[in-house]
Amino acid sequence: MKRKRSVFPGRFNPDRLSAAEWIRMGFSEKQAEAILKYKNYLGGSFISKEKFKECFIISPASYTKLESYLILPAKTPEGFKSHGKNYTVQSKIHYRNFDPNSLNSEDWQALGFSEKQANTIVNYRDRNLRGSFKSLEDIKKCFVISKEKFEELSPYIKLNTNTNPIQKQETDFSKVDLNIITFKQLLEFGLDEKSAGSMIGFRKKTERFCQ
């Protein structure tokens, strides 16, 4: 059986590539989805060649092939950490009081989040917090909700819960070692259970993602 030939686009901006285009470049469907999730995690852009290289799906060999064709700055801007991690859609929104435990993905999108961000918030609530936010701190800890966005939303949040707040440790994904990341942390990052399980299984087979 012949192996599918990779289609290389020449010089390109990786921010503009769809999942289908990453697949045509030789990545699997799951790898393409993970690359896009990583881009969204950074705030909707790879920012720089440095940040692109940090994507765990991009092997050193793949990066070496792609590096000279990437239309990205070589270095990450100094101010990136202070404003680039959490991306939200900028638009004028007329807020009303709401219970975050009753919101579905479309409701979160109406509050200014992208579809993927909204799905991540719902997954975080339903999987990590067992179906409900117990406190404002729980909401604040969701990594796709920036500090600025939380401050914008907080006056309108009306939690409806009779349970005591649960203290949950926040995961700082910029410091997570992919060789020891847990299944729950992958879910928190936004992967579905099947993708997270596949990644953990692949790591067990190879022992480590990288040296």
Per-residue pLDDT of the chain (211 residues; tens, 9 = 90+): 444 556 666 788 898 888 988 988 888 898 999 899 888 888 888 888 988 998 888 888 889 988 888 988 888 877 665 333 443 334 457 788 999 999 998 889 888 888 888 899 999 999 888 889 999 999 999 988 988 889 989 999 998 865 444 444 566 666 667 777 787 777 777 777 777 777 777 777 776 655 4
Is residue 190 in a domain? no
Alpha helices (runs of H) in the chain, residue ranges in sequence order:
19-24, 29-42, 49-53, 60-66, 80-83, 105-110, 115-123, 136-140, 147-153, 183-189, 193-206
Alpha helices (runs of H) in 76-127, residue ranges in sequence order:
80-83, 105-110, 115-123
Report pLDDT for 62.
87
Compute the Cα dihedral for 182, 113, 82, 50 and give only its sign.
Answer: positive
Report pLDDT for 86.
43
For residue 59, give Cα distances in angstroms to 115, 170, 180: 28, 28, 18
Is residue 76 in a domain? yes
CB atoms within 10 A of CB 12: 16
For residue 104, give Cα distances in angstroms to 27, 111, 180, 195, 201: 32, 11, 32, 22, 31
Is residue 17 in a domain? yes
- Phi and psi, residue 137, nearest 5°: -65, -35
With a threshold of 0.75, does the pTM exceed it?
Answer: no
Is residue 61 in a domain? yes
The Cα 196–Cα 190 span in angstroms is 9
Is residue 115 in a domain? no
Report pLDDT for 1.
44
Domain range for 68 is 8-81
Is residue 20 in a domain? yes
Report pLDDT for 122.
92
For residue 155, give Cα distances in angstroms to 24, 158, 180: 46, 8, 38
Is residue 94 in a domain? no
Number of H helices, E strands in the chain: 11, 0
> Could you tell me which of 124, 125, 120 has the C-alpha nearest to residue 109?
120
Structure tokens at 12: 């390109």
Is residue 70 in a domain? yes
The total number of structural domains in the chain stands at: 1
